[in-house]
Structure 1
Amino acid sequence: MSVINSPTTVLSPQSSSSSTLPQQFHTASSQHDLVVKRSATWRYLQRVHQGGMVLYNTAVLTEADLRKGYPYNDEKMQRKTMQYFMLGSSLATILEIPNQADCLKALHVVVQEFDYFIASDSKSKMMLKFRATGRKALLEGKSFEETGEYSQLDVRPLPFQLDYIITFASLCDMIAQVYEKLSGNGNIWNMNTLDLFQRVDSRFKKILTTVSKELEGMARDVILDELNGMDPLGGTTEDWGF
């Protein structure tokens, strides 16, 4: 009996290991493909915001078209520009973290703090007090989560207005670099890191969805302008069925 049971005991772990390896490889491979795809998408958006790119095979958006769609002096647009600047600046710092897993943890924190900041910034009674370092802030004496400070979000006052198009193109570059950094090592993916990635990726996708809708609206206006310019009878946009 001992002779029969012995090989069974030895072979069982080998059998289990061989069955899990393909699944681990599949997870790492599919995750790598997703990360590469995300990076390419953000690189594409970066080029679109640099002007002169065809948006989704529909219309060429020039810099003039973009500036028409994103009015510089609009208060809401300036607030959004500042938010994107803070996020991009924070990502630039996080990208300096050499370990990918630690970088992913920091990314998760920064998107949480970013959401909290946006929610706080939208409340008129919430006053933002900046520290001299520019890296942390207090909100009405209360803190983000427990400490009262932003540990990863780069919150700082600026003495000038930011250009939205340049700021968002820079944010696209930072987010693309984030995905490129995470694509370098398939060994980091496990249940914990995959969960963190999904949370970070979902937040970036919200930005992607919002901006894509804005750009599609601009492309639609460009197409309508071109169609109206081609109409010898001087038809209106309604005549084209848009």
Structure 2
Amino acid sequence: MTKLQALVEKRKSSFVYLKKTHEGGCYWLNCVQLNRKPDLEAYAAEIPRARTTQLFYLGLSLARLLQSGCGGAAVVRGALQLFEEWEYHFAGNAAQSVRGLMAKVNTQTQGQGVEGGGSASGGGEDNNPVVARLCKFGSEMVYEHLLTPPLPFALDYFEVFFSLCDIICQVYNKLMEEECYSNVHVFEALVKVDAKVKRHVLNVTAKEFTEMSAKIARSELAALR
């Protein structure tokens, strides 16, 4: 419980810090001040549109999972399944082909249909390991939790990232429920979900901010020579 609480607080603090840094005026790692203009706006302009879309769909799907009103264990199961679907959806053709070979073939669709949304089960019972697995109906992949609605408008990277930070913090709040750490299988799934959040969101953004800060620092030092 103590370790989980420390992990949750650490992740929430990290996302609060990232959100605040994106707003501008903060010092990244207490070294370089990142201002909204020109630093962060130039940074956002270089973010591929596809990545902004990926983050938007991730936040949208996580929000749907939270709104289902399910308990912490179901959120963990659902989040693990969601990441499995999200990784598949945005993988390259070769990776999709390999993952598709391991997908379960259903004769009846589940949830809301192909590439839509679904229930908040996430797979796995209390006494069984939580396993995330892709499902196919015919030749098409069925998404249980990933939402991928068409986007008739351009997304603002900052707004997408701000919303994602808030939603992920809410997800981590759910992880503090007793059923998340009292069941070994759910806890193992929780650790996997945390690793995916760290890999796909935290590490990527932190690496880019560190590189941007180093570039700004070198530029400022060069100006003093």
TM-score for the superposition, normalised by structure 2: 0.75
Give the distance between the partners of 2:64 and 2:150, measured in 1 at CA. Answer: 17
Aligned AA for 1:109? Q
- CA displacement, residues 37-68 of structure 1 (integer Å, 9 cap, x when unaligned): 11111111111112221111111111221221
1:202 is the counterpart of 2:195: yes
Shift of 1:105: 1.0
Q: CA deviation at 1:165?
A: 2.4
Matched, 1:118 2:112: no
The one-letter code matched in structure 2 to 1:206 is R
Q: Report whether the alignment pairs 1:146 with 2:136.
A: yes
Q: Aligned-pair distance for 1:186?
A: 3.4
Structure 2 distance, partners of 1:187, 1:101, is 6
Task: Indicate if the aligned counterparts of 2:32 and 2:213 stay in contact, CA closer than 8 A.
Answer: yes
Say what the alpha-carbon RMSD is for the aligned residues.
Answer: 2.3
Superposed counterparts of 1:12-23, under 5 Å: none
Q: Which has the larger radius of gyration?
A: 1
Question: What is the letter of the counterpart of residue 46 of structure 1?
Answer: K
For the 8 Å contact 1:59–1:223, the answer to whether it is kept is: yes
Counterpart among 148, 155, 167 of residue 148 in structure 2? 155
Shift of 1:136: 4.7
Query: Does the CA contact (< 8 Å) of 1:88 and 1:174 recur in 2?
Result: yes
CA contact (8 A) 1:84 1:168 kept: yes
What's 1:80 paired with?
Answer: 51
Structure 1 CA distance, aligned partners of 2:65 and 2:114? 15
Contact 2:83 2:196 in 1 (8 A): yes
SS at match of 1:201: helix
Give the AA of the match of 1:218.
M
Q: Which residue of 1 aligns with 2:72?
A: 100
SS of the equivalent of 1:95 reads helix
Q: Distance in 2 between matches of 1:197 and 1:66?
A: 32
Counterpart selection for 2:39 from 65, 83, 94: 65
Identity %: 30
- 1:157 aligns to what SS in structure 2? coil
Verify the 8 A CA contact 2:180 2:190 in the aligned structure 1.
no
What's the CA shift for 1:118?
1.3
Which residue of 204, 214, 220 maps to 1:220? 214
Task: Indicate yes or no: 2:180 matched with 1:188.
Answer: yes
Superposed CA deviations along residues 105-141 of structure 1, whole A, max 9, x for unmatched, are 111111111111111xx339x9xxxxxxx98528xxx
Task: Kindly provide the CA deviation profile for residues 177-236 of structure 1, in whole angstroms up to 9, marking residues without a partner as x.
Answer: 1112222x23431211111101111111112111111011111122122222323xxxxx
Distance, in Å, in 1 between the alignment partners of 2:216 and 2:187 is 40
Secondary structure in 2 matching 1:162: coil
**Hey, what's the Cα distance between the residues in 2 that align with 1:135 and 1:39?**
33
Please list every run of 5 or more consecutive structure 2 residues that lacks an aligned counterpart in the other structure. Answer: 97-111, 117-133
Is residue 90–residue 110 contact of structure 1 (8 Å, CA) maintained in 2?
yes
Name the residue aligned to 1:172.
165
- Work out the CA distance in 1 between the residues paired with 2:76 and 2:198: 16
